[in-house]
Every structure is written in structure tokens, then in C-alpha cells.
Chain A
Amino acid sequence: MSLPASCLNMIHSGGWAKEARHMAPILEVRDLHVSYSASGGASYAALAGVSFQHMPNEILGVLGESGSGKSTLAASLLKLLPSNGNISTGSIFFEGKDLLCSSASELEQIRGKRISLVYQEPSVALHPAIHAGEQVFQVLAAHESAGKSTLRQKTRQVLASLFPKEADRISNSYPHQLSGGQRQRVLIAQAIACGPSLLIADEPTASLDSTTQKEILGVLRTLRDELGLAMIFITHNPALLAGFADRVLVLYGGRVAELGPARTVLSSPKHPYTRALFQSMPQILESTGNRRKTKLPVIAGDSSTARLPLEGCVFEPRCPDRMEDCRKREPALVNLGESHTVSCFRYGG
């Protein structure tokens, strides 16, 4: 069996050998195009040719702001797009099988069992009138055919792994009686109950304060280490991925801007968007003396989808490093070595 070049690169780049037990990626997205149709016949592209591979036991951080298509990506991976969403081309291979060719019943079996989603906004992602424990139980009951008592036992185990001290109290509580962090853990419990191989977390810490955020990241990290889960962590805050993700994928305007090992992308980003994004974030160690209360270097304009150009590089209108070619053609992905790819004319393409 011949391995794709990207896989070979990963092995040789070191630091991967010990973790890559399987060579085959658990998830492979190829040239995914997703669009939404608005009223009046118009349609706009949310994802325009996204491709990446995700290896087992790896945390992939997807970095994207509003309009980048990150939520569309999460929804597409489970084929849970709203009625006006439409996957025009591309394929999503999960454990070798193309999800886009699967039937509705097959997908129902995969969702929650092989691939799970942890939602943002834990306050609304849980049913307000059903006990937290019952909601976890329902997920188990939907996928496993064991008897009720076995399932209840399992529910208790799952909750105990996330709430070591107060599993019973949490199980009998309603969502509105729990704090934000506790609700998020219940969502995670629902997601891991059936032992999935891929966990997609869509901004799971968005509404939490920093201490709870750190806690939840720790929980996810432990789950990865203990259960061998592959994880896709979607966020708009690059700081969360530092020291957490193994690889980072930067999405802009529905396309992959940059993809590579977290350490490389976060400390020395190559794509102009990524660089500008990191520069616009206040760094606490720098906020001393004269840097404080000065204006941050921002990216001009905003990333709303209405402004995306149809030809050429999608970041070109806001890019501080734009060149002639940027308006004419879309840049291709350039391999910078160490499995770090960038789509920018500055590096070739």
C-alpha cells in the first residue's frame, strides 16, 4: 500500500513516529465545497475547496473567525447542515468510508457513536426539562442495545469520569441548576458516552470564564490521552490552541489558509492573515510600559462573507502583503516542509 506524500512527510518530520500507530488518517476531507442558498435564488459559498487529513489520537485545532466557514465545516462532517445548506462537491472519508455517500440511517448510527459533536452554548444545547443524567442515558440508549440497567451503569461511569466527586448530584440535576462549566462537562459526557473515535468540539469554551476554560481544555486533553480520541477543536481564539492542539488549520473565507504543526503555526505563522491575526491580539507580557493603551495593529475591514471576492485570493482585499497575482488567481497550497502548508503567493503557489 503506498502512502500519500503528506503521510510520509509526517513520519519523517519526527515527533510523530511514536504517536502514529496507524498510518491511515481517521478523517480525510477532500475538496469540500458547501454553499447556502438564500431566498431569491442567490447562493453563497461557505466552504470552497477545503482539504485536510486528520490522524488518529491527534488534536486538530481549526482556527477561524466568523465567516470563515468553521461551523459549516463542523456541521458538514456530520451532515447536519440546515435545509438551505448544500454540499456541492467533495468527499469526507471517515475510517475509509465516504460519509457523503451514506444513507440517513447509517449516519444516524455514526452520529454520537463514532463521531460526536460537543456544542458551544451549553446553556441551550441541553434539554431544559430532562435531568442531565437522563440526557446522557438517552445517547447511550440510542446506540447500544444492552439492557436498561447496564446502560444506567454505563451512564454512571461516564459521569463519574467527568465529575469525580459529585456525579450523582449532577446526574439528578436539571441544566439550569448547573454552572456553565458543569453543563459543558455534561455535553462532553454525552459526546464520549458511546466511545467515539472522533470528537468535534465547536467553540466549547466560548461562554466560559478563563479558569473554567482551562479546566475544560484539561478535560479534553485527558480524554485524548486516556481514550485515544481524535479531536477537532474549533475556535476563533488562537491562544486556546497554544499548548493544547497538535496541529492547527487556519480557515479564512471558506478556504484553508495555513495548516501545520501547532508549534510552528502558532509561533511563526506564515500566512499574512494568520500573522496579522496574531499581531492584533494583546499579549499580557508585552502590555507593559508604552505598549499599553496604544492601538493594536488590526486587519482592516471585516471578514463578512458578503465581501469575499470571486476571483483571486480570498484574503487579498485586506492583505497587507498583497501582490499583483493575488487578485487574478487563487493560490495553491505550498508545502513548506514539516507538513506545514500555506496557500499564499509569497511562498510560491
Chain B
Amino acid sequence: MRFFLQRLRHACFLLFGVSILAFLFTTLAPGNYFDEMRLNPQIAPETVAALRAQYQLDRPLPVRYASWMNSVVHGQMGFSFAYNSPVAPLLFVRARNTLLLTITATLIAWGIALPLGVWSAERFGRLPDRLLSWATAALLVIPDLALALGLLVLTVRTGWFPTGGMTSLDFESLPLSGKLRDLALHMTLPVAALVLSALPLLIRHVRASVAEVLDAPFILAARGHGIPRRTLLYRYALRAAANPLISLFGFSIGALLSGSLLVEVVMSWPGLGPLLLESILSRDLYVVIDGVLLSTIFLVSGNFIADILLYWADPRIRTEGGTR
């Protein structure tokens, strides 16, 4: 228990540090949101100055940090210049859209990688395994961008799926089943792109860990007791191979908010990615800082969850190792 409280404490410090760094870097970067406006001759410099004062951009750094902190505590998390609204609701809507994609993709990817990896490990070194290895190697080599674009091209040619966005124009008027179907159709491509890019790594890791465990004496002993093949593979082998896979799963959770940026931008999915990109380019300060912070929270939580899972799954860690 002390161990976990300590981790929690470290996580808080980390987030604090990240927020400071993010603040520093974004404000120290040259330019600010109102630069473009300043270049526009139609807007008077006094207006620009007034706007800057309104958004506190002329105050010293620590003061701005303090008022941002204050705003976070009150649940607003700063103010977006571009959207003219508090950052929090904006961020959360976009984050929800991203999570919709990434959680689905993660579940599907793991759901395919585990049985496929186990199947491959069972046939380690033989032809089916080697074929799968080549296929995953090929997928690994193709960049995410190329995958996403390739899928887009496919859909443009065939018209099977919508080519972008999250919902159709008439989304609101559809009945519930229609809404779900529409959402599902829009999600298919981005989820497919994410799954295809995540799959090779997962399959390889599952295969490697399980293959190593299949050679273990306790597996042979279980075979000697006549334990049926299915139980042997899933209850015994996978269980014993779980440790590295749990760490990998922790990474998957950590990347839930940050891993899909490219795909979202290419497929025009209204998620966190395009928002962050846009905000960085236009110096919409607080959106950037909050976005970074949110991603960091997920990353840290992912590792934390992995640690908890590891603790639960491996009795040796739980009971602090053997007796001698």
C-alpha cells in the first residue's frame, strides 16, 4: 500500500513538473496568438493591445501560471482564444471522441493479437508461424501515415465508407439505431488504421513471450498430466507469459490519447489530435498546455495500471518473492 501511495505522490509531482515545463515552452516560443491580428492592418493596434490585456498575455509568467492553476482548480482549465470558451469542455469533448476510437482499436488489436500470437507460438518455427512473421514484419515497416492514406484511397475508390469526419450531416435526425450505424461506419476506417499499425508489435510480443513459456518444465509436466491443449495454452502458458504483456498493455493505455494524432488528422476525425495541432500552430496557449497535461495523465495512469495488474497477476511480486 505504501508503495502505491508513493507512486501516486510521484505522479502528482510529475504532472506538476510537466505543467510548468509545458507552460514555459509554449510561452517562450516566439510569437503569440494575436500576432496575425497585429499584421492585419484593418485592426487597430489598440484593439490588439486591449485583447492581449484581456487575456492577460502582458502579465509576467508566474502570475499567468498562478491564474491558470486557479482556473484548473475551478474546472475551467484556462481559456481558448480561438474558440472563445473555457478550455475544459472543449478538451473533454475532443478527448471523448479520441477515446472512442482508441479504446475500440486497442480492444480489437489485443483481441486479435492474443489468440494469433498464441497460435503462432504453438507452431513456432514452422511454416504458418514464419508466414505470420513475414506478414507482421511487412505491416511494421509500413508507416502509419501510409496505412491511413491507403485506406482513404481505398474508400474513395469504392465508396464503402465515409471518407472522413465522425458523423454525417443529418446525424441528429437519425433514430438511435441509425445514429449508432452512422457512427460505426465513420469509425471503421480510423479504427482499422490504428489496429493495423498496432497489431504487428503486439503479435510479436505475445508470440515471443508465449513461445518462451511453452518450453518451461511446468508446461511439460502439465502435458504429462493430460491437461487438454486449450487449457494448457490459455490457462497455463498465457498466464505465465503475462508479465511482459502486462507492461505492454500499460503502454497501450498510456498511448490512448496520444497515439492516434496522425490518423485523426488524415481522416478528419474531430479528436484531440487535430485540436492540439491547430492550437500549436495558432499559439492557442492554454489548449496546448491542457492537452499536453491530459496526455501525460494518461501515460502515467497507464504505467500505474500496469503496475497494479502486475501485482495482481504475479503472486511472486505480491508475496515479495520466494522464501530463499
Contacts and interface: CB of A to CB of B under 8 A. Distances in A.
Are A and B genuine complex partners?
Answer: yes
B323 A138 contact: no
Contacts of B316: 128-129, 174, 176
A8 interface: no
A128 B213 CA distance: 11
A177 interface: yes
Contacts of B111: none
A285 to B, nearest CB: 33
Interface in A116-134: 116-117, 119, 121, 124-130
B226 A142 contact: yes
A126 B322 CA distance: 14
A223 interface: no
B227 A116 contact: no
B2 interface: no
B236 to A, nearest CB: 6
A143 interface: yes
Interface stretch (A31-39, A103-111, A235-243): A103-111
B: interface residue count bin = 20 to 34
Interface stretch (B139-147, B161-169, B217-225, B268-276): B217-225
B225 A190 contact: yes
A142 B236 CA distance: 13
A112 interface: yes
Given A138-B231, A176-B316, A124 B225 contact: no
B225 A127 contact: no
B189 to A, nearest CB: 40
Nearest to B236: A127
Contacts of B235: 130, 138
B299 to A, nearest CB: 28
Given A126-B221, A129-B240, A174 B315 contact: yes
A174 B319 contact: yes
A9 B172 CA distance: 94
Nearest to B318: A174
A335 B313 CA distance: 58
Given A78-B224, A80-B223, A110-B226, A121 B217 contact: yes
A185 B226 CA distance: 19
A176 B226 contact: no
A197 B228 CA distance: 21
Nearest to B224: A117
A128 B218 contact: yes
Nearest to A179: B323
Interface in B310-324: 313-316, 319, 321-323
Nearest to B322: A176
Contacts of A124: 216-218
B84 to A, nearest CB: 55
Nearest to A134: B235
Contact of A109 (B217, B226, B236): B226
B224 A119 contact: yes
B228 A128 contact: no
A109 B228 CA distance: 9
A113 interface: yes
A116 B323 contact: no
A111 B225 CA distance: 5
B314 A129 contact: yes
Interface string B77-109: 000000000000000000000000000000000
Contacts of A138: 222, 225, 227, 231, 235
Interface string A173-203: 0101101000000010011000000000000
Nearest to A139: B225
Given A109-B226, A139-B225, A177-B319, A119 B217 contact: yes
Given A124-B217, A127-B239, A128-B316, A80 B224 contact: yes
Give the size category of A's interface with B.
20 to 34
Contacts of B240: 127-129
Contacts of A127: 218, 222, 236, 239-240
Nearest to A117: B224
A99 to B, nearest CB: 13
B313 to A, nearest CB: 7
Contacts of A117: 221, 224-225
Given A129-B314, A174-B315, A142 B220 contact: no
Interface in B200-247: 216-218, 220-228, 231, 235-236, 239-240, 242
A125 B221 CA distance: 6
A112 to B, nearest CB: 3
Given A124-B218, A127-B218, A129-B240, A176 B323 contact: yes
Interface in A318-347: none
Contact of A125 (B217, B315, B322): B217
B227 A142 contact: yes
B225 A112 contact: yes
Contacts of B221: 117, 119, 125-126, 187
B217 to A, nearest CB: 4
A129 B225 CA distance: 18
Nearest to A114: B226
B212 to A, nearest CB: 14
A129 B239 contact: yes
B295 to A, nearest CB: 33
A57 to B, nearest CB: 22
A-B residue pairs, 4 tightest by C-beta: A112-B226, A112-B225, A111-B226, A176-B322
24 contacts: A78-B224, A80-B220, A80-B224, A108-B228, A109-B226, A111-B223, A117-B225, A119-B217, A119-B221, A125-B218, A125-B221, A127-B222, A127-B236, A130-B239, A138-B222, A138-B227, A138-B235, A139-B225, A139-B227, A142-B226, A174-B316, A176-B322, A177-B322, A191-B225
Given A119-B224, A177-B323, 17 more contacts: A80-B220, A108-B226, A108-B228, A111-B224, A112-B226, A113-B226, A117-B225, A119-B221, A124-B217, A125-B217, A127-B218, A129-B316, A138-B222, A138-B235, A142-B225, A142-B226, A191-B225
Interface of A: 78, 80, 108-113, 116-117, 119, 121, 124-130, 138-139, 142-143, 174, 176-177, 179, 187, 190-191
